[in-house]
Amino acid sequence: MATYAIGDLQGCYSAFRRLLDLIAFDPVADRLWLVGDLVNRGPQSLETLRFVARLGAAATVVLGNHDLFLLMTQAGIKRRSDGDTLDQILTAPDRDELLHWLAHRPLLHVEGQYVLVHAGLLPQWTVPKAQALAAEVEDMLTGKDAKKFLMHLMGSRPDHWERGLQGWGRLRVIVNAFTRMRLLTLDGRMAMRAKGPPDKAPEGTLPWFALPQRASRTHTIVCGHWSALGFYREPGLIALDSGYVWGGSLTALRLEDGQVFQVKAEE
């Protein structure tokens, strides 16, 4: 049995299947950890979503910002943009079944020394604190007020965590940290507009994982979301978004021994 953590699929189903062939994935014996953003940008979002959903317990999936965008679009809350590739999902006969499955994915998965999340954890959050905060959002996303919750997700304010934060602002900070964050100011504010590589980060910001006071250093964080960072690992961090949809690679890492597998983008 092996566990393979895989970076952002973003609707690139053919590449995903090539990568599974490369690692000789056996859904009976092996497990996949997918860092979120199953859909959008790539041309095969429907095929990707269907395939992963049908893997059942063989696939552990956390939600990414594009997955939430799909749920918001289906609810009539988020307006479409030119680069979206969601039409096949939204018109599919099994749309409701697929979106129900997607809405019930967690924001965070913790197992042993590893934490699976799409973007990252704010520096104040220990892993148990992050688990509790993720549960708050997951309860809202699957509860009777799910549409109201999705209506209040848009926006980048508040941009930091503080004790006593309540209401929609509290939930928005949690979601933005788990699914959208890349860079932080030295006092822990999310710099949402910056999307480039770390060496081009605005003055006074650092990658979220580089803040010295980060409380989640007790675990190894497995994440994606930051294609400009690319595949990157250091003690306590495995970043897997190597930008396949932008012409890069799709990356898998076997957790048991750290071996890396990649397929490169085709024309």
Q: What are phi and psi of 260, to 5 degrees?
A: -110, 140
Here the tokens at position 226 are 């930051």
Average pLDDT, integer, range 90-95: 96
Indicate the pTM of the whole model: 0.96
Q: Which helix (H) or strand (E) covers residue 260, if one does?
A: strand 260-264
- Closest to 37 in 3D by CA, of 13, 64, 62: 64
Point out which residues pair with 206 in neighbouring strands. 184
Percent of the residues in the chain that have a pLDDT greater than 90, as a whole number = 91
- Closest to 3 in 3D by CA, of 37, 36, 26: 26
Which of the four CATH numbers 3.60.21.10, 1.10.1760.20, 3.40.50.300, 3.30.70.270 does domain 3-264 have? 3.60.21.10
Average pLDDT, integer, range 187-214: 92
Strands 31-34 and 59-61: parallel
- Which strands form 3-6's sheet, in the order they lie side by side? 59-61, 31-34, 3-6, 249-254, 260-264
pLDDT tens digits, one per residue of 77-86: 866 677 788 9
pLDDT tens digits, one per residue of 43-52: 999 999 999 9
Which residues have C-beta within 8 Å of that of residue 76, sequence separation ≥ 6?
A: none
How far is it, in rounded angstroms, from Cα 224 to Cα 17? 19
